[in-house]
Amino acid sequence: MAEIKKIKPSLPKGTRDFLPEEVAKRNYIFDTIKRVFRKYGFQQIDTPAIESLETLEGKYGDEGDKLLFKIRSNKNLLDRPEFVPTLKERLWEVYPYNFLPAGSEKGLRYDLTVPLARYVVQHQGDLAFPFKRFHIAPVWRGDRPQKGRYQEFYQCDADIIGSTSLLNEVELTQIYVEVFERLRLKVIVEINHRKVLEAIASYFGLTVNFESFTIIIDKLDKIGWDKVVEELTPLVVEHLALEALSVKSLQRFVFDIYNGSNSWFDVTDKLYKAIPPSDRWREDTWKGIISTLQEVLGKIKFDQEKVKLNPYLARGLSYYTGIIWEVVLDKNKEENKAIQMGSLGGGGRYDNLTEMFGGRDMSGVGISFGIERIYDVMEELKLFPADLGETTKVLFVHFDEASEAYAFEQLQKVRALDIASEIYPGKKKLDKQMNYANDKKIPYVIVVGGDEMASGKLTFKDMASGQQEKLTIEEIIEKLKGN
Amino acid sequence: MAEIKKIKPSLPKGTRDFLPEEVAKRNYIFDTIKRVFRKYGFQQIDTPAIESLETLEGKYGDEGDKLLFKIRSNKNLLDRPEFVPTLKERLWEVYPYNFLPAGSEKGLRYDLTVPLARYVVQHQGDLAFPFKRFHIAPVWRGDRPQKGRYQEFYQCDADIIGSTSLLNEVELTQIYVEVFERLRLKVIVEINHRKVLEAIASYFGLTVNFESFTIIIDKLDKIGWDKVVEELTPLVVEHLALEALSVKSLQRFVFDIYNGSNSWFDVTDKLYKAIPPSDRWREDTWKGIISTLQEVLGKIKFDQEKVKLNPYLARGLSYYTGIIWEVVLDKNKEENKAIQMGSLGGGGRYDNLTEMFGGRDMSGVGISFGIERIYDVMEELKLFPADLGETTKVLFVHFDEASEAYAFEQLQKVRALDIASEIYPGKKKLDKQMNYANDKKIPYVIVVGGDEMASGKLTFKDMASGQQEKLTIEEIIEKLKGN
């Protein structure tokens, strides 16, 4: 590595290093989620970061396509000595992307869903269906970096492919509740169903602009009713030939069925009754909502404080065809009141996932955890345990070569019991060695000097309390095992 | 996702999907290694897949630079409405790579060492030194894909930065031994030291072409002595003005000191005595080898069957300055004899790691595990445990809606104890449900039908033996806890 010009170390915008403590905290979140996924029978898969552009392009809309990171390698056809380039191939050198043969272009994956679709079709014969998989991995988007938005970030998804049973919806809801309980985050798992939104729209005779309609009413939380009515008016007037007044009646309608009683059964019941019996949506809605949500959620004694129907929740309606989830901080809880944070998770049921790759139609349903945001909230609320289980338990410090050798021998006894332990390597002043323990948050230090070697009683120091006592290595090991 | 043309699902060459069972096996290797790393006080870090090209280029030689994957995003300056491009920037559109402003080009990381150097300099103030870190992550190289060689593959490194203490060499050797013991792979950890190779070269008066010399003698294992002598002759004749005969004496020299006795102390002792006392290398070598390897390895009662000095081991001599490790299958063991496989790990001490990023000189020493190869060998030797700990323990199967609902309730009791368990979602014939258990290698199945609901005694089937018995859910839970 000679003759290298010195450069200032830096990272591309929108990317991050993780310090050891940050990795330990992220692992705590990942491991908690993984344990719950596995408990419910989900299996981990992995796919490469690099996919063919053909696989990625056209799946995320025009805006998404623009955010794809494209890849080329220098090592191309032209490097091969036996290769005589054609004119087209020469031009490729000038503008590589236009002249690459189809299929040889690559990009970094943009999410974990399109790779899942490709994976399911490609490995159909090797998978057990219904296929319950989870995937935790980085994805890349060429978005303008800003606070909390990165170009490289992790996604964490669990999906069930190839089963329309409503039990899947129930179990995914249970997973949401259990994971956030384990992380000690107080959240509300909001649920809606595409058919609820369709029923509301239908009640007002809305047959076009369904997505625009749902996008507006979804903003209720953020902008309030007056603004929603304002935004909805032109849409309703223009396309439904209804008076603005009708929007007011929509407001009353939604308010009435969702009056804060938090009773699921009330809400669905009112919704059913509010829709005129003549309306074709009424029976669909009844089946869609009652059978999907009420009946099924009734089976688990779901906590109505934690799982709520939100009939104006709209999310991903360009692809979700059934249930829709969104997890938000419970703002009724004191500790969450000061925290500004968007949703911590979301999901839904989607049909025809695998169609784009020529697979037979398979319905899928899945949830995802916004682990970057979960991290930020847990940090703000100081919810990470003090001991993340990844830290060294004890450090041996010493004064000279003889005590270092002696300490090294004692260390072997501690390690024989699989207790994470270290010796400070090399000769340094004692305070430097103690600083090392502090910097690494090592809770116990064993001091070895001439006295200790003579008596066989080592100085065992509790770094938190500062207390120290003289103990044999066997006594110390007993203490460490108990911790 | 409407109007998407159907495409055949495929992956770019040199990349791989991992099926659930493969992920579980890879996790088994990763987790085993991580546990040992943490036991020895190493902390996990992470860095982004994407680095500035400035960070990557020039670090891996000309051939390495060619293998870098370069990245661009479509979303560039030109997309911003307020941006009026200069001529240079317009040209960038035509040939993006030549006209990107310095520092804005990106690439995928090629290894974990250069990112470590950047990381250490960048976060110096936040790290505890000596900095003991491990990193397990994918890297990318635009190599021609072939059997066992991928464009995206994992590296797994542990390094200690900022300490010249020989204890580090000892502990890294211990880690190698412990990890491979835990994986039940019978290997030899071969050790050499740059100074041993320099001593041998010096013995023959070789002062130039040191690297060429070491590359040739390193091939001994593969090509045998006759070929080595043949390759060495022109080098020796040309640069040392020695007769080809001298090469024969080199052979004798190396054979004599490394005569298969496998005794470390013999080898180093002979090496010391073989070098003329007048040679300046003699004392250096004595210090270099004896103090680095013998004295230090003497402290741990290292297994001379597992850790061996190989004085002609040459690896990474363009950067290693002290100890050199290489782990190979122990070909004396019966089970390994039929297996063709290169090294399963390697490492060494390197000085000036951080120099290229303007950091103060810090010595580093590290080892890496070739996890892709370890996987292949373990697969071939059938060393993965049958239960990788990631599989569902029990599956509930059922006959109709009533038994499904009943089974779902019982399932909640099993899950309350954190036992990984599932219910087959939806109505399918019993044999289909049983196939699901077989495909996922679920060891136990609970059958729930009318009889079971009436008696409260469920049919509990052991899928391996085919035996089944009628038990209450409480009795089943007791059995599952015991497994």
Q: Is A230 helix (H, G, I), strand (E, B) or coil?
A: helix
What pLDDT, on the 0 to 100 scale, is given for residue A271?
67
Confidence of residue B31 (pLDDT cuts 50, 70, 90): very high
Residue of B nearest to A390 (CA): B38
Residue to mutate among A34, A75, A124, A361, with most B CBs inside 10 A, is: A75
Token code pair at residue A283 = 């029976």
What pLDDT, on the 0 to 100 scale, is given for residue A357?
84
Which candidate, A346, A312, A306, places its Cα nearest to that of A223?
A312
Cα gap A58→B6, rounded to integer Å: 11
Per-residue pLDDT, averaged over B242-270, amounts to 58
More confident residue, B298 or A470: A470
How far from A412 is each of A421, A461, B176, B303, B398, CA to CA, in Å? 9, 19, 15, 15, 54
Residue A354: pLDDT over 90: no
- Candidate from B23, B35, B133 with C-beta closest to A20: B133
What pLDDT, on the 0 to 100 scale, is given for residue A204?
63
Residues of B in contact with A111 (CB under 8 A): none
Per-residue pLDDT, averaged over B137-157, amounts to 91
Residue A99: pLDDT over 60: no
How far from B152 is each of A52, B17, B313, B332, B372, CA to CA, in Å? 14, 11, 28, 33, 11
What pLDDT, on the 0 to 100 scale, is given for residue A300?
67
Confidence of residue A249 (pLDDT cuts 50, 70, 90): low
Confidence of residue A379 (pLDDT cuts 50, 70, 90): very high
Q: Is the pTM of this model over 0.80?
A: yes
E strand or H helix that includes residue A422 = strand A421-423
Q: At what angle do helices B20-39 and B371-380 cross, to 10 degrees?
A: 120
Cα gap B119→A301, rounded to integer Å: 49
Residue A303 touches chain B, beta carbons under 8 Å: no
- Rounded to the nearest integer, the mean pLDDT of chain B is 83
CB A268 within 8 Å of CB A282: no
- Counting every residue written for chain B, the total comes to 483
Per-residue pLDDT, averaged over A266-281, amounts to 67
Percent of chain B with pLDDT over 70: 77
More confident residue, B163 or B238: B163
Token code pair at residue A460 = 């065992």
- Candidate from B69, B74, B425 with C-beta closest to A130: B425
CB contact under 8 A, A426 and B165: yes
Cα gap A175→A167, rounded to integer Å: 12
Residue of B nearest to A142 (CA): B73
Per-residue pLDDT, averaged over A4-29, amounts to 90
Window 236-275 of A: residues touching B by CB (8 A cutoff) are: none
Confidence of residue B315 (pLDDT cuts 50, 70, 90): confident
Confidence of residue B33 (pLDDT cuts 50, 70, 90): very high
Per-residue pLDDT, averaged over B168-188, amounts to 96
What pLDDT, on the 0 to 100 scale, is given for residue B91?
43
Identity of the amino acid at A70: K
Residues of A in contact with B108 (CB under 8 A): 49, 71
**Range from B122-131, B137-146, B428-437 carrying the lowest mean pLDDT:** B137-146
CB A227 within 8 Å of CB A219: yes
Token code pair at residue B441 = 């290698």
CB contact under 8 A, B20 and A44: yes
**Range from A376-380, B298-302, B351-355, B464-468 carrying the lowest mean pLDDT:** B298-302
Confidence of residue A286 (pLDDT cuts 50, 70, 90): low
Distance of CA A462 to the CA centre of its chain: 37
CB contact under 8 A, B7 and A358: yes
What pLDDT, on the 0 to 100 scale, is given for residue B274?
65
CA distance A272 to chain B (A): 25
- HEC string of chain B? CCCCCCCCCCCCCCCCCECHHHHHHHHHHHHHHHHHHHHCCCEECECCCEEEHHHHCCCCHHHHHHHCEEEEECCCHHHCCCCCCCHHHHHHHHCHHHHCCCCCCEEECCCCHHHHHHHHHHCHHHCCCCEEEEEEEEEECCCCCECCECCEEEEEEEEEECCCCCHHHHHHHHHHHHHHHHCCCCEEEEEEEHHHHHHHHHHCCCCCCHHHHHHHHCCHHHHHHHHHHHHHHHHHHHHHCCCHHHHHHHHHHHHHHCCCCCCHHHHHHHHHHHCCCCCHHHHHHHHHHHHHHHHHHHHCCCCCCCEEECCCCCCCCCCEEEEEEEEEECCCCHHHCCCCCCCCEEEEEECCCCHHHCCCCCCEEEEEECHHHHHHHHHHCCCCCCCCCCCCCEEEEECCHHHHHHHHHHHHHHHCCCCCEEECCCCCCHHHHHHHHHHCCCCEEEEECHHHHHHCCEEEEECCCCCEEEECHHHHHHHHHHC
* A384-438 pLDDT per residue, tens: 998 888 889 999 999 999 999 999 999 999 999 999 999 999 999 999 999 999 9
What pLDDT, on the 0 to 100 scale, is given for residue A211?
79
What pLDDT, on the 0 to 100 scale, is given for residue A206?
65
CB contact under 8 A, A41 and B420: yes
CB B253 within 8 Å of CB B203: yes
- Candidate from B58, B69, B126 with C-beta closest to A4: B58
What pLDDT, on the 0 to 100 scale, is given for residue B44?
98
Token code pair at residue B192 = 């050499």
CA distance A360 to chain B (A): 12
- Candidate from B19, B160, B415 with C-beta closest to A45: B19
CB A106 within 8 Å of CB A48: no
What pLDDT, on the 0 to 100 scale, is given for residue A459?
98
What pLDDT, on the 0 to 100 scale, is given for residue A355?
83
Question: What pairs with residue B154 in β-bridges?
Answer: B138
Cα gap A23→B44, rounded to integer Å: 6
DSSP string, A38-68: HHTT-EE-B--SEEEHHHHTTSSHHHHHHHP
Cα gap B477→B445, rounded to integer Å: 12
Token code pair at residue A301 = 């004694």
Residue B99: pLDDT over 50: no
What pLDDT, on the 0 to 100 scale, is given for residue B114?
95
Residue A154: pLDDT over 50: yes
Residue B312: pLDDT over 50: yes
Domains and CATH numbers, chain B: 20-381 (3.30.930.10), 394-482 (3.40.50.800)
- In degrees, rounded to 5, the angle at the alpha carbon of residue B13 between the alpha carbons of residues B92 and B1 is 70
Does residue A130 have a cis bond before it (omega within 30 degrees)?
Answer: yes
Window 324-363 of A: residues touching B by CB (8 A cutoff) are: 352, 355-359
Identity of the amino acid at B415: R
Per-residue pLDDT, averaged over A229-258, amounts to 59
Confidence of residue B94 (pLDDT cuts 50, 70, 90): very low
CB contact under 8 A, B418 and A39: yes
What pLDDT, on the 0 to 100 scale, is given for residue A214?
82
Residue A463 touches chain B, beta carbons under 8 Å: no
Confidence of residue B361 (pLDDT cuts 50, 70, 90): confident
**Range from A101-110, A427-436, A465-474, B175-184 carrying the lowest mean pLDDT:** A101-110
**Range from A29-43, A87-101, A159-173, B183-197 carrying the lowest mean pLDDT:** A87-101
* B67-86 pLDDT per residue, tens: 888 887 654 444 444 444 45
Residues sharing a CB contact under 8 Å with residue A203, sequence separation 6 or more, in sequence order: A250, A253, A274, A275, A276, A279, A281
- Candidate from A1, A142, A163 with C-beta closest to B73: A142
More confident residue, A264 or A362: A362
Confidence of residue A81 (pLDDT cuts 50, 70, 90): very low
Identity of the amino acid at B145: P
CA distance A148 to chain B (A): 16
Per-residue pLDDT, averaged over A30-44, amounts to 98
Residue B279: pLDDT over 80: no
Residue A375 touches chain B, beta carbons under 8 Å: no
* A315-332 pLDDT per residue, tens: 888 889 889 999 999 999
- Rounded to the nearest integer, the mean pLDDT of chain A is 83
Interface size A-B, in CB pairs within 8 Å, comes to 320
More confident residue, A309 or A139: A139
What pLDDT, on the 0 to 100 scale, is given for residue A73?
60
Confidence of residue A361 (pLDDT cuts 50, 70, 90): confident
